[in-house]
Amino acid sequence: MQLIMAWLVVSISASNDGNSAAVDATNNISDKDDYVPGLNAGNYQPFNSGTIGDPADSPDPITVAAEQSMQGEDSDMGEFTSWGLLPDYTLKPDVSAPGRDILSTGNDNQYVKMDGTSMAAPFNSGVAALVIQRLKKTNPNLHGAALVQAVKGLIMSTANPQLDINSDSNAIVSPRRQGAGQIDAGAATASPVYITTDDGTS
């Protein structure tokens, strides 16, 4: 892929389309004025309810889902963040990061709180920059696509899986929603190892 050939670490928002199983079939919507898409009260049940699309469905970039920006037992995924799997059953998103009530820049020299995977992706970009900085010191001979894969591998391998706060049995949130889990900058910049698949990807 051209992104890897250019030796760039690319962080992409998963998108804010929720889960397609949460979408109402239009002929079954009775109150169209108050309808909010992407919530968990839909009636459309496709074979695969994944909603991650191009370019976030590419295997090489780090696809980032949004979580609620809480810690510990209050941590949960954003209800709006897109779900995997991809149509070919590739697991996406790759990781999750805070994407709810993020203070960001707005129009007219203002700051505003915003929600979305576009708020989560910059967290991953920052962690990727820190990992690159660390790898350039500890592994100076690592370059190009190998460096990109190492960065993605370290971020994914050190992510912390979130528990489902709506479960009584401490079940883990599905990887279809959170990927490998919440990014952990400290662990990603300190771990001496990361996991890869047989083809060398993360």
- In the beta sheet, which residues pair with residue 96? 65, 182
* Domain range list for the chain: 2-188
CATH architecture assignment, domain 2-188: 3-Layer(aba) Sandwich (3.40)
Statement: residue 38 has pLDDT above 80? no
Contacts of 163 by beta carbon, 8 Å cutoff, 6+ apart: 73, 75, 170, 171, 172, 173
Q: Which of 131, 156, 145, 146 is nearest to 62 (CA)?
A: 156
Alpha carbon 99 to chain centroid, angstroms:
10
Q: Which residues touch 41 (CB under 8 Å, ≥6 apart)?
A: 22, 24
Tens of pLDDT, residue by residue over 101-143, are 888 888 999 999 988 888 888 889 999 999 999 999 999 998 8
Q: What is the DSSP letter of 44?
A: -
Confidence (pLDDT) at 17: 58
